[in-house]
Amino acid sequence: MRKMVWLKVVALAVMLLLPFAVTAPVQAAARGIDPIVSADWLEKNLNNPNLVIVDLRKVEEYKTGHVPGAVNVFYGSWAIKKGELLNELPSMDDLAEVIGGAGIGANSLVVLVDKVEKVPDQFGMTRVAWTLKYAGVNNVAILNGGQNQWVAEKRALSQDMVIAKIKPYKAAWNKNLFVDKSTVIAKLGKATIIDNRAPAFYEGKEKLAFVPKLGRIKGAVNLPVGQLYTGEGLYKDKATLASLAAKATGADLDKEYILYCDTGKTCTSWAFIMTELLGYKDVKVYDGSSMEWLADPNAPMEP
């Protein structure tokens, strides 16, 4: 009798613990993807049913050869022109439609691919990654070195036009990832404002043609995007990136940071690295960036 009672107690304990023992590892595996993936990792995971590869190039470039299985959703679908401002967010409805049209769902592991021949091309992947985070897609990664690295490593290319399986996407908006000009003004002297442009632009010596004038947001510190990459166009190692970021942040992972550049595109590279790789908890992107700020004579600026 005593043996029977003991067996029942053991059986009950096993039943209570079993759900935790079984489900916890499965949930962790289903959610995980590194923020930066190599061509080798991507090739080995091409058959993962949860993987969605999104090629951001123009369709004619996509057709010449792409990562097998990748769908083509041109960068211009993710970042649009609004008035005079470049690289702005589409409406929430339009963005949700783009995401669902790419076949991205709540459980998808998304890898973004773009060309990186020219400096501006390097930041399309991070701008789209940040936009997906804004829409609640957290399992998003970028291919280190983009399409160029895939080709350089002589990985297989496909010319098939992949048609995504459309999934209605219900967004969980992280609206605090993007801020407007009034928010930046209110945060001056409180948050750390980081200018991600090259030093000559930060110092007021140079500007792009579409930026109204020379200068920077008052009180901003400089963390150039060019420091992110090796000479081969790949991301530097984590320790090096952490050290570079610390020069602007003091390695304070808990403070509020607002990043900007010329149009709100290139600064997403540091925003993505700081949050997804280095553990910074409160990083925001000023979408209007220098184009908007330096067009306003009342916006505090220097030099």
Q: Which structural domain, as residue segments, surrounds residue 105?
A: 32-152
Q: Do 206 and 148 sit in the same domain of this protein?
A: no
262, 197 contact by CB (below 8 A): yes
CATH number, position 83: 3.40.250.10
Q: Is residue 45 part of a domain?
A: yes
pTM of the model: 0.88
Q: Is residue 283 part of a domain?
A: yes
127, 71 contact by CB (below 8 A): no
Q: Do 140 and 222 sit in the same domain of this protein?
A: no
12, 4 contact by CB (below 8 A): no
DSSP 85-140: EEEEPPPHHHHHHHHHHTT--TT-EEEEE---SSGGGGGHHHHHHHHHHHTT---E
- Residue ending a domain, among 152, 167, 188, is 152
- Residue ending a domain, among 152, 184, 211, is 152
Q: Do 210 and 125 sit in the same domain of this protein?
A: no
The count of structural domains within the chain is 2
Q: pLDDT tens string for the chain (303 positions)?
A: 433 333 333 333 333 333 323 222 222 233 389 999 999 999 999 999 999 999 999 999 999 999 999 999 999 999 999 999 999 999 999 999 999 999 999 889 999 999 998 877 889 999 999 999 999 998 999 999 999 999 999 999 999 999 999 989 999 999 999 999 999 999 999 999 999 999 999 999 999 999 999 999 999 999 999 999 998 889 999 999 999 999 999 999 999 999 999 999 999 999 999 999 999 999 999 999 999 999 999 999 998
